[in-house]
Structure 1
Amino acid sequence: MKTIEMQTPERQGTTALPDGRVLSWSEWGPLTGRPVLLCPGAATSRWLGFGSAVLAETGVRLISVDRPGLGASTPMPRRSLLDWATDVRHLRLSRALNGLRVVGFSQGAPFALACAATQEVEAVALVSGGDELAHPAIRALLHPDVAKLVDLTATEPAQAEAFFAGMSAQMMWDMVIGMSHEADRAVYTEPRFAEAYRRALDEAFSQGTAGYARDTVLAMSRWPFKPESISVPVDLWYGALDTSPVHSPDHGQTLAARLPMARRRVEPDAGGALLWTHAEPILTSLLAR
């Protein structure tokens, strides 16, 4: 496995929103670079970036933002995916993030697509992206345990949210390691990566578990927008060795067919951690879209 450089954030701050909430963010890369927003995966936070070794050469200013209730961003109970897109609009305008593009990793995928559906971004890269698990074409392909959670979310959303609120940073770490292919475990357990990843988990749960629980309900519900209506280009990146049951059971094949301007790549020797193992081609392709 090639060495993956993990770097602590170069810049951190908060952005005030019109309703009095704040979004907390971290940045890496040149201030003059093309702004790329990272929508992090489940229960992680602004502390975990990617591609720090290639940001200067690719000309990327990477911005990772805590979603409401995670990390240091103000909670927003009963929020929706489209509420996130509105928050991103305020962030983009207040920080003059012109030409913004977005990367959605794992559970961050529907949040990234919400930004595309509302045309807040110019292009999208979904990496090991969570599919619309409640869509009929995907629901039939799910692992039985995941299908039960999707059904519970559809029929008893408050009960599902309470169930997801039982998660902790340690439980999330154990779950990710337990359901990952050995190729991914080699990435996640590398000492420097593990330190950065576990710090991001701890930070994500620093206000409690409600933020993660809400994120997961939104990810397991029907999306409030139609992928078929998204008019910006979308790259879908998957690793053929990805064994996560909550990403995409067909590695994005169905989702790519629903997105009018989609381009899908499945890397044969990669797993779900390809955000870190394939950072340069992901960013280069995103900027070229």
Structure 2
Amino acid sequence: MNNLVTPPERQAKMQLYDGRMLAWSEWGPVDGLPVLFCTGAGMSGWLGFGASDLPGLGLKLIAIDRPGLGLSDAHPNKTLSSWVDDMREFIQVNDLHDVLAVGFSQGAPFAFALAGRSLVKAIAIVSGQDELAHPRVRPLLHPDVEGMIAAVQQDAMKFEQHFSQMATQEGLWQLIIGMSAQRDRALYESDTLGEAYQRALKEGFSQGAQGYARDLANALGSWPVELEDITVPVDLWYGGLDTSTVHSPDFGAILASRLPNASHTVDPEEGGSILWTRSYDILAKLKSHVSIT
């Protein structure tokens, strides 16, 4: 693989207090400053980013398999709040300090949830999903996405059951490719990134589609954290060429206006794959929010 993606350098599992197993993948120095990576939709933690940048920055990337995805046991009542509880336990057990987080695509609400509960010092939201049910955002949505929001609000359990019965790894991959701009498609369909991305999806669906469907319902519903109350720094990164209908429809403009401590970067030459093409800039800016003593 090229320097955009490399296989995990380490993989581990731990047992949570309630007996569930939580799995993750790591890149970078073992003693590096921890960066929790909230991956995109339906993905295990296999697909990381910025591996060649991490040693020089002194960062350790930790990509969690969310419950029900990859090797992490399902949570019977998974919510964004239960995710925060799991991550609080993970941070405590592993004695992590000055924790940072990155949320990519559907990982955005999971990163926002960590910031809203002050578990992290700062977050970067990259090609992130917006709070699509928010009244300022909803009028900007593609009709198909608006229909999904309406279905979740009408009956979230029915929506989840429907997607868990119909969603597949291959179907989600084709959806991602179909929504991607040409710049992103060329990268996602390359041998290197494409193979890693599809492996992460295959692992994400290894227990079936239920984990993905629950994440989708939680991400499309109302979030349990008020973005206006998040005081930690939030770096918003978007590519102006991004054509995904499930990312922020205005490239983070409304998000930036709602967050008290946000920086907002829209690169007109990049697309949704900016996570890999500008990984150093994203990670370096994120680290700058932490004072190392």
Does the TM-score normalized on the shorter chain lie above 0.5? Answer: yes
Q: Distance in 1 between matches of 2:89 and 2:122?
A: 18
Note the C-alpha offset of 1:124.
Answer: 0.3
Find the counterpart in structure 2 of residue 269 from structure 1. 269
Contact 1:4/1:276 (<8 A) preserved: no
Note the C-alpha offset of 1:133.
Answer: 0.5
Q: Distance in 1 between matches of 2:3 and 2:134?
A: 35
Detail structure 1 runs of 4+ shifted over 2 Å in the superposition. none
Note the C-alpha offset of 1:144.
Answer: 0.4
Q: Distance in 2 between matches of 1:40 and 1:52?
A: 15
SS at the partner of 2:140? coil
Equivalent residue runs for 1:239-258 within 5 Å: 239-258=239-258
Q: Distance in 1 between matches of 2:180 and 2:3?
A: 18
Find the counterpart in structure 1 of residue 175 from structure 2. 175
Find the counterpart in structure 1 of residue 49 from structure 2. 50
Find the counterpart in structure 1 of residue 87 from structure 2. 88
SS at the partner of 1:140? helix
Q: Deviations over 1:15-66 (max 9, x none)?
A: 2111111110000000121110000000111111001111111111000001
* TM-score normalised by structure 1 residue count: 0.98
Q: Distance in 2 between matches of 1:108 and 1:5?
A: 19
Equivalent residue runs for 1:190-229 within 5 Å: 190-229=190-229
Q: Distance in 2 between matches of 1:127 and 1:203?
A: 22
Find the counterpart in structure 2 of residue 161 from structure 1. 160
2:235 matches 1:235:
yes
Find the counterpart in structure 2 of residue 25 from structure 1. 24
Find the counterpart in structure 1 of residue 127 from structure 2. 128
Contact 1:4/1:277 (<8 A) preserved: no
Q: Deviations over 1:168-213 (max 9, x none)?
A: 1100111011110000001101101111111100000000110000
* TM-score normalised by structure 2 residue count: 0.96
Find the counterpart in structure 2 of residue 11 from structure 1. 10
The unaligned stretches of length 5 or more in structure 1 are none
Q: Distance in 2 between matches of 1:225 and 1:112?
A: 11
Q: Distance in 2 between matches of 1:86 and 1:231?
A: 20
Q: How many residues align?
A: 287
Give the root-mean-square deviation of aligned CA atoms: 0.9
1:62 partner amino acid: L
Contact 1:28/1:61 (<8 A) preserved: yes
Find the counterpart in structure 2 of residue 148 from structure 1. 147
Q: Distance in 2 between matches of 1:46 and 1:170?
A: 18
2:29 partner amino acid: P
